[in-house]
Amino acid sequence: MALLRFPPSLSASSPRLSSNPSHFLARNPLIGGKEVHGVAMAKGSGGAITGLVFSPFEELKLRPEVAMVPVEADKSLARFKYSDKCEAAVNEQINVEYNNSYIYHAMYAYFDRDNIALRGFAKFFKESSEEEREHAEKLMEYQNKRGGRVKLQSILMPVSEYDHSEKGDALYAMELSLALEKLTNEKLLHLHKVAEQCKDVELMNYIESEFLGEQVEAIKKISEFISQLRRVGPGHGVWHFDQVLLHGGGVHG
Amino acid sequence: MALLRFPPSLSASSPRLSSNPSHFLARKPLIGGKEVHGVAMAKGSGGAITGLVFSPFEELKLRPEVAMVPVEADKSLARFKYSDKCEAAVNEQINVEYNNSYIYHAMYAYFDRDNIALRGFAKFFKESSEEEREHAEKLMEYQNKRGGRVKLQSILMPVSEYDHSEKGDALYAMELSLALEKLTNEKLLHLQKVAEQCKDVELMNYIESEFLGEQVEAIKKISEFISQLRRVGPGHGVWHFDQVLLHGDGVHG
């Protein structure tokens, strides 16, 4: 155990001083009325030494799995109360977000074609692709923060054609995008439920604050796009909507 | 054929005017001494109409595959002298760059771990990942520019562990990165060779100017990193190098 130990001489011979916290090095602490030698004491919370509420090193003596810092090179040091289930679920979500990014990138490539030429939609999907990749990276950072191990999985090739004879490609791609965002929302809620089952309050809060709200915003935004596209119709309508997307003319909030 | 045709009355009755280019609508051109009716003429290059060097619309009449603009919804309009082989080779290179990006992202995740904690290397590989993705996007843009069709392929999961008992993980990862960049250089040269075989001068130039130079720079930079890492050794050396990578202190040009 790597706790700080005072040489026996120092603690045994030091007189019991006043309860002035600055002299903590010289105290012979009392725990449950019993004098304790040779163990470093944190400052007491109350005034008198007998009012001690928290004796961390005593607690640590009873909790070796917390006190002992792993020495194996491949073990995480920071990992604490982070279950394997949660770790795996986070890795899954990283893959989901990365897949979304790849799909949006394919949509960007489609609308950038010369015979499609909807540059506003191309720009929107290009930015969506970057945003999804940022989500994935955020989760990778979180995984490392909790002491889990990031495991990147394979990414399937996305669909590359988005033409639709009735709806038109722009509306069809937006409807696909909405379906994708709703599916991602479901997966985030599933991740949240796994965290709840593992009683991982911090992960639950992280998903709630950093992901769920943003997902709801995204779903609202794309739904509004679809409503507008349905209203203005294909042809001139879609082209105008595309112009607004391209130049950011207040189509969306 | 979708060429502009003057109504017969207009061209048949208009008198032959001077060779003033601004009256091109009223001319009855002479080509090889023969009067040509009912075909719009571009302005002549010389002064007199008989010194004509280039008759574009006459040429176009002889080249229907150039003159006719595709009407099918799924056909590219811009595509010209862009072989299927080159299109496929560009798609391959997009996948190569995307794979590189994913591998670097995995390296970032490794060095970001709490028990590895080489944040300078993490930062370097994070930025490398973004850079490779930009290369892929650049090629996607080029594909669309030439009128090819972007086809994103699946991406294999990368290696996630970079520990090495003799070299240490930092040096090992850098050596892997160097190998990767050299392999990518080879693939770019192969793409350039395919372009050469297809006599696609524009693509050859594009690869040379936009990719090959940068690849050589990258190889030099990483080689220098490796030399420095070998010199300073693992332990304090690697840690110091990592600090410099993190704070950008002039380790590399």
**Quick check: A108 and B147 CB within 8 A?**
no
For residue A52, give how far its alpha carbon lies from the nearest alpha carbon of chain B (Å). Answer: 34
B196 among the known binding-site residues?
no
A97 among the known binding-site residues?
yes
Residues of B with Cβ-Cβ distance to A126 under 8 angstroms: 137
Which amino acid, residue A224? E
Three-state DSSP at A88 gives helix
What does residue A127 show for φ and ψ, rounded to 5 degrees?
A: -70, -35
Residue in the structure block whose two tokens are 């930079």: B221
Three-state DSSP at A65 gives helix
**Quick check: A140 and B109 CB within 8 A?**
yes
Identify which of A12-16, A25-29, A168-172 has the greatest average pLDDT.
Answer: A168-172
**What pLDDT is recorded for position B4?**
46
Q: How far apart are CA A106 and CA A125, in angstroms?
A: 9
Q: Is A166 on the interface with B (CB under 8 A)?
A: no
For B112-125, write each residue's pLDDT tens digit: 999 999 999 999 99
For A110-150, write each residue's pLDDT tens digit: 999 999 999 999 999 999 999 999 999 999 999 999 999 99
For residue A109, give how far its alpha carbon lies from the nearest alpha carbon of chain B (Å). Answer: 6
B132 among the known binding-site residues?
yes
For B216-251, write each residue's pLDDT tens digit: 999 999 999 999 999 999 999 999 999 999 998 655
Q: How far apart are CA B20 and CA A89, in angstroms?
A: 77
What one-character-per-residue DSSP string does chain B give?
-------HHHHHHSPP--S-GGGGGG---EETTEE--S---PPPSSSSGGG----HHHHHHH-HHHHPPP-STTS-SS--S--HHHHHHHHHHHHHHHHHHHHHHHHHHHHTSTTT--HHHHHHHHHHHHHHHHHHHHHHHHHHHHT-------BPPPP-----TTT-HHHHHHHHHHHHHHHHHHHHHHHHHHHHHTT-HHHHHHHIIIIIHHHHHHHHHHHHHHHHHHHH-TTHHHHHHHHHHHHT-SS--
Q: Is B88 on the interface with A (CB under 8 A)?
A: no
CB contacts < 8 Å between A and B, how many? 98
> What is the DSSP-derived secondary structure letter of residue A79?
-
For B55-76, write each residue's pLDDT tens digit: 999 999 999 999 999 999 889 9
**Quick check: A144 and B77 CB within 8 A?**
no
Residues of A with Cβ-Cβ distance to B73 under 8 angstroms: 115, 163
Whether pLDDT at A233 is above 60: yes
Mean pLDDT of all residues in B135-163: 97
Q: Is B121 on the interface with A (CB under 8 A)?
A: no
Instruction: Identify how many contiguous H helices and E strands chain A contains and give both numbers.
Output: 9, 2
Q: Which residue of A has its CA nearest to B122?
A: A141
**B13 vs B173: which has the higher pLDDT:** B173
Three-state DSSP at A25 gives helix
Of A172, A179, A162, the residue nearest A105 (C-alpha): A162
Q: Full-prediction pTM beyond 0.95?
A: no
Whether pLDDT at A12 is above 50: no
- ipTM of model: 0.78
With contact defined as beta carbons under 8 Å apart, do B94 and B152 qualify?
Answer: yes
Angle between helical axes of B119-146 and B169-197 (0-180°, round to 10): 10
A132 among the known binding-site residues?
yes
Q: How far apart are CA A104 and CA A124, in angstroms?
A: 9
Cβ atoms < 10 Å from Cβ of B243? 14
**Quick check: B158 and A152 CB within 8 A?**
yes
Which is it for the CA torsion A172, A176, A177, A182, positive or negative? positive
**What pLDDT is recorded for position B24?**
44
What one-character-per-residue DSSP string does A105-143 give?
HHHHHHHTSTTT--HHHHHHHHHHHHHHHHHHHHHHHHH
Identify which of A23-32, A53-62, B30-39 has the greatest average pLDDT.
Answer: A53-62
Q: How far apart are CA B162 and CA B121, in angstroms?
A: 12
Residues of B with Cβ-Cβ distance to A137 under 8 angstroms: 105, 126
The confidence band for B50, taking pLDDT boundaries of 50, 70 and 90, is confident
Q: Which residue of B has its CA nearest to A162?
A: B74
The set of residues, in sequence order, having a beta carbon less than 8 Å from that of B18 and lying 6+ positions away, is: none
For A40-80, write each residue's pLDDT tens digit: 444 545 445 678 899 999 999 999 999 999 999 889 999 99
Residues in chain A: 253
**Quick check: B113 and A160 CB within 8 A?**
no
Nearest by CB to B102, from A126, A144, A152: name it: A152
B210 among the known binding-site residues?
no
**Quick check: A144 and B109 CB within 8 A?**
yes
- The mean pLDDT value of chain B amounts to 86
Nearest by CB to B160, from A75, A147, A150: name it: A150
